[in-house]
Amino acid sequence: MAAESERWFNYTGADDEVPDDVTHVIVSIRVIPANAFRGHPNIVEVIFDLNVQKVERLAFHACTSLRRVIMPGVKIVEEHAFLACKALTHVV
């Protein structure tokens, strides 16, 4: 059972507006655009669908609470995609 404070969000494209209170994200597009999640301080975990192949520049820049990223199908992570993610300790 999920903790009460968890808020999940399924990100399906650049037009999705990521709510500020989201803590967990599931990504289900092939390419995560530059700056897509930039500055979201509450995100702690991101799980990429198997189809995700690329993370563009600064996609998660300054997601200061991000601790865990699971990205099984990713082939390309561009420069500074996770810049200033100070809490990031677990990447699969």
Both tokens of residue 50?
């198997």
Which pLDDT value is given to residue 4?
59
At the top level of CATH, the class of 1-92 is: alpha beta
pLDDT of 29 over the 50 cut:
yes
SS3 state of residue 73: coil
14: pLDDT confidence band, cut at 50, 70 and 90?
low
Residue 6: name the closest of 49, 62, 51, 47 by CA.
47
> What amino acid is encoded at 41 in this protein?
P
Q: What residue spans define the domains of the chain?
A: 1-92
Which pLDDT value is given to residue 17?
80
Q: What pLDDT, in 10s, does the model give residues 33-77?
A: 999 999 999 999 999 999 999 999 999 999 999 999 999 999 999
pLDDT of 16 over the 90 cut:
no
Both tokens of residue 75?
């082939």
Distance CA 86, CA 40 (A): 13
> What is the pTM for the complete model shown?
0.89
The residues, ordered by sequence, that sit 6+ positions from 72 with a Cβ below 8 Å of its Cβ are: 48, 50, 92
